[in-house]
Amino acid sequence: MSDTASPSVDVSQFQYVRKGFGLKAEVEQTLAADYSGQLVDLLRANGYTLAAGGMTVRLAKEFGFCYGVERAVDYAYQTRLKFPDRRIFLAGEIIHNPHVNAKLREMGVIFLGPTANGFDYSEVRAEDVVILPAFGVTHHDFETLRALGCVVVDTTCGSVLNVWKRVEVYARDGYTSLIHGKYYHEETRATASQVRKKDPDGHYLVVRDMDEAELVMDYIEAKAGAPLRPGRSALTRASFLERFADRMSDGFDPDRHLDRVGVANQTTMLARESLAIGAAVGEAMERAYGADHKSAHFRTFDTICSATQDRQDAVLDMLEEPLDLMVVVGGYNSSNTISLAALCAEKVRTYHIADPDEIDVAGNRVRFREIGAHHHEGEAEGWLPLTGDVRVGITAGASTPNNKIGEAVARLFATRGVDPGTLVTGEG
């Protein structure tokens, strides 16, 4: 371990690390042991299909760890190897997967809890190391760490950084950032904070879905004196401020700050909804003020992560096949996993499970997150037919490691009385 021990450093100065420590090869074997999956490799080798005991399992062609997640986990492992004798803190969760976060806790990484204004850094000292998660942290968090003078290892995903650049430009040019996202999600909070990173007069408003975007559109059209669409009515200024109180910038005034709007989004949202919101808000601006006004006062860009898009597209392709049910594996607080589950549920009975352990083989029961329910879990008995032919689709969010996907597949086959080991050895 002596060749990877931390060098003598001046801890009185802030140290920022964005590109790892050059220890990728050293941690590669450990990462493979923790997160690879034989059954996933077998599925790939067999055209993403395994069949035994009357059951066919189909794996979506894009699934699991994306590049940004791989990079974040890799850097976390490198950090532990680089600084074996230092306290290492993590701002929140590295990604939204319980298995990965549990592994980091086993490695001695200390998880920092949230406060009303960022994370709680009260225990952090200049000689400590703090890892920033793939979602990023707020500008306030970053400046707090800079003032502490500790080592900061930044694993923020490049796709998230691209959104940050977009909202910075919006603020610079006098546009309010209308962010399609979950206002309580780490990424959306971090993105919103970038609006005022360089411009203290910048503003933002977060909408969760098309229903909330419709409220914004109604207000824009009513303020312009344009006739509202049939069946629509606009909020008063007071009711608007109350409705969006916890998801807008300080000093936000809908009468002033909805004149120039730029749409952005949390990178893990449902892509089609983000695109639809952008298009609809632009149409509302045109209805209210005309095409010339829209051209000069409205901007929109698709900032959905390519990995999120690829996984959603792969699921949609697979749903064209006849399937009896879908299993989606990923953390219950994983936004991109929730989006995948929502897509699947539109076409077929779908079970979103956080971990393969949610599948009770002996009892043929499953615990799952109910689609569309906020942090509400259900349980189903007899969920998997034990006789007859059955086709099961499976996919996983971008923060789900391959071994967990493989374990879920193994439990599916075991429930049908098939020894998963025979699938790997070819004896089934």
Residue 417: pLDDT above 50?
Answer: yes
Q: Which of 345, 363, 341, 343 is nearest to 354 (CA)?
A: 341
Average pLDDT over residues 39-59: 95
Rounded-to-5 percentages of helix, strand, coil across the chain: 45, 20, 40
CA gap 361, 357 in Å, rounded = 9
- Catalytic residue from among 187, 221, 358, 407: 187
166 φ/ψ angles, rounded to the nearest 5 degrees: -65, -45
Work out the angle at residue 68's Cα, subtended by the Cα atoms of residues 66 and 73, and round it to the nearest 5 degrees: 95
**DSSP per residue, 313-331:** HHHHHHTTS--SEEEEES-
Per the model's pLDDT, the better-predicted residue between 303 and 383 turns out to be: 383
pTM for the complete prediction?
0.89
CA gap 192, 170 in Å, rounded = 12
| Confidence grade of residue 422 (pLDDT, cut at 50, 70, 90) | confident
pLDDT score recorded for residue 12: 46
CA gap 72, 68 in Å, rounded = 6
CA gap 260, 262 in Å, rounded = 7
145, 139 Cβ separation under 8 angstroms: no
Percent of the chain with pLDDT over 90: 86
Residue 22: enclosing H or E segment and its boundaries? none
Q: Which of 311, 346, 359 is nearest to 368 (CA)?
A: 359
CA atoms within 13 A on the CB side of 57: 30
Give the tens place of pLDDT for each residue, 144-197. Answer: 999 999 999 999 999 999 999 999 999 999 999 999 999 999 999 999 999 999
Give the tens place of pLDDT for each residue, 307-365. Answer: 899 999 999 999 999 999 999 999 999 999 999 999 999 999 999 999 999 999 999 99
Per the model's pLDDT, the better-predicted residue between 426 and 270 turns out to be: 270
Residue 236: pLDDT above 50?
Answer: yes
Residue 3: pLDDT above 70?
Answer: no
pLDDT score recorded for residue 2: 30
pLDDT score recorded for residue 374: 65
Per the model's pLDDT, the better-predicted residue between 37 and 427 turns out to be: 37
Per the model's pLDDT, the better-predicted residue between 301 and 263 turns out to be: 263
CA gap 43, 48 in Å, rounded = 4
pLDDT score recorded for residue 13: 57
Percent of the chain with pLDDT over 70: 95
Give the tens place of pLDDT for each residue, 373-398. Answer: 666 889 999 999 999 999 999 999 99
Among the residue ranges 9-23, 56-70, 134-148, 373-387, the one predicted with the least confidence is: 9-23
Which tokens belong to 382? 């007899």
Q: Which of 197, 239, 240, 183 is nearest to 216 (CA)?
A: 240
Q: Which of 306, 229, 299 is nearest to 264 (CA)?
A: 299
Asked if 187 is an active-site residue, the reply is yes
399 φ/ψ angles, rounded to the nearest 5 degrees: -110, 15
Residue 426: pLDDT above 80?
Answer: no
pLDDT score recorded for residue 10: 42
Domains along the chain with CATH numbers: 15-27+67-156 (3.40.50.11270), 46-65+306-425 (3.40.1010.20), 159-300 (3.40.1010.20)
Q: Which residues contact 255 (CB under 8 A, 6 or more apart)?
A: 223, 237
pLDDT score recorded for residue 150: 96
Among the residue ranges 114-118, 251-255, 308-312, 385-389, the one predicted with the least confidence is: 114-118
Residue 9: pLDDT above 90?
Answer: no
